[in-house]
């Protein structure tokens, strides 16, 4: 009797898995497999990817994201203690209700050109931003916009301001990070007036003290206070290899923006397999999908296309 019951139990399990069934059963098996993968893979999303579409129905949108396979979020749109005019505690509740965890946020201070006289004002801004995000349990406080870095002297003051932001974040229980675009891979010189990018040069002689902005920021920031979130697409657009950078700074690059020209994997210009391989080798635990423009359809459809790509990719754990 016991044997028979066990046999029936196994048989119904196999049926559910489609192993004893026909075509319909196979579809069920693939759905089960997909569900299992979605549960195992920790895929994050930078909510900027949804643009205004998210704000048509935030609770509904969050549920859609969860169903697509996303599990963590990185905020954008912080202003006056709110996220796009929604109280942060309300925003957190909507994410919680959908089973999503907000672990990161993108915030830019209101000043782009850092000087000795406005450092205090920037620190005040970070103090409030860090406290507001600590209240909803965010881990990473990240600056996504490049401050003015036209020369080595400006690089130095940006390094000081970042270190201070790092101290403020740490005191509130957060980690401060910086997110790049392409212009961080331009070069600057002492006393210079502009960043030079790509094939543009400083003349025949390599000027003394020439630095790549990105490396200059890594060098001038305290590893215990400032980490880097590497946007792999913008690094490629900066004519650099994100894998090489991850190898160069394994202890500084702690998060990634997984981004392509549009939907992940469509352009063919990003070697995501190598990027993920290196990310795992470096022990990187969190990353966020980011989508800007799309050719057709809605942002939600594009964001789903990105999740589908990662769920299907065998190199994503
Ligand atoms: Mg990005």
Summarize pLDDT for 199-256 with one digit per residue, the tens.
Answer: 887 777 778 999 999 999 999 999 999 999 999 999 999 999 999 999 999 999 999 9
36 Cα: distance to centroid of ligand 1 (angstroms): 28
231 Cα: distance to centroid of ligand 1 (angstroms): 5
Q: Can you tell me the mean pLDDT for 57-69?
A: 98
106 Cα: distance to centroid of ligand 1 (angstroms): 10
157 Cα: distance to centroid of ligand 1 (angstroms): 24
pTM (predicted TM-score) = 0.88
Instruction: Give pLDDT tens digits for 142-192.
Output: 999 999 999 999 999 999 999 999 999 999 999 999 999 999 999 999 999
Q: What is the rounded distance in angstroms from the CA atom of residue 162 to the CA atom of residue 108? A: 12
Q: What is the rounded distance in angstroms from the CA atom of residue 139 to the CA atom of residue 279? A: 19
144 Cα: distance to centroid of ligand 1 (angstroms): 7
Instruction: Give pLDDT tens digits for 270-300.
Output: 999 999 999 999 999 999 999 998 889 999 9
257 Cα: distance to centroid of ligand 1 (angstroms): 5
The structure tokens 């202890």 sit at 251
At 89, is the pLDDT very low, low, confident or very high (cuts 50, 70, 90)?
A: very high
Residues with Cβ within 8 Å of 285's Cβ and at least 6 positions away in sequence, in order, are 42
Instruction: Give pLDDT tens digits for 248-261.
Output: 999 999 999 999 99
290 Cα: distance to centroid of ligand 1 (angstroms): 6
């Amino acid at each position: 009797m016991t044997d028979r019951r066990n046999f029936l139990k196994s048989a119904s399990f196999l049926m559910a898995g489609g192993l004893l069934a026909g075509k319909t059963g196979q579809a069920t098996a693939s759905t089960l497999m997909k569900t299992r993968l979605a549960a195992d893979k920790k895929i994050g999303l930078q909510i900027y990817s949804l643009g205004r579409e998210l704000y048509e129905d935030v609770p509904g949108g969050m549920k859609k994201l969860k169903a697509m396979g996303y599990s963590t979020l990185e905020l954008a749109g912080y202003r006056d203690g709110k996220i796009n005019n929604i109280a942060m505690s309300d925003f957190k509740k909507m994410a919680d209700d959908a089973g999503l965890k907000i672990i990161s946020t993108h915030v830019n201070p209101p000043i782009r050109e850092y000087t000795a006289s406005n450092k205090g004002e920037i620190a005040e801004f970070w103090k409030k931003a860090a406290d507001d995000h600590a209240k909803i349990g965010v881990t990473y406080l990240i600056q996504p916009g490049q401050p003015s870095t036209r020369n080595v002297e400006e690089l130095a003051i940006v390094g000081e301001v970042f270190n201070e932001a790092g101290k403020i974040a740490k005191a509130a229980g957060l980690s401060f990070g910086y997110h790049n675009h392409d212009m961080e891979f331009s070069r600057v010189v002492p006393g210079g007036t502009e960043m030079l990018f790509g094939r543009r040069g400083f003349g025949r002689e390599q000027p003394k003290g020439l630095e790549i902005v990105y490396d200059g920021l890594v060098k001038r920031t305290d590893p215990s206070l400032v980490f880097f979130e590497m946007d792999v697409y913008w690094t490629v657009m900066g004519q650099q290899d994100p894998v090489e950078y991850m190898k160069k700074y394994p202890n500084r690059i702690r998060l990634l923006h997984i981004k392509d020209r549009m939907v992940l994997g469509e352009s063919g210009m990003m070697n995501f397999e190598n990027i993920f391989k290196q990310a795992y080798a470096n022990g990187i635990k969190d990353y966020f999908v980011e989508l800007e423009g799309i050719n057709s359809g809605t942002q939600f459809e594009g964001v789903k296309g990105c999740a589908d790509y990662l769920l299907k990719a065998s190199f994503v754990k």
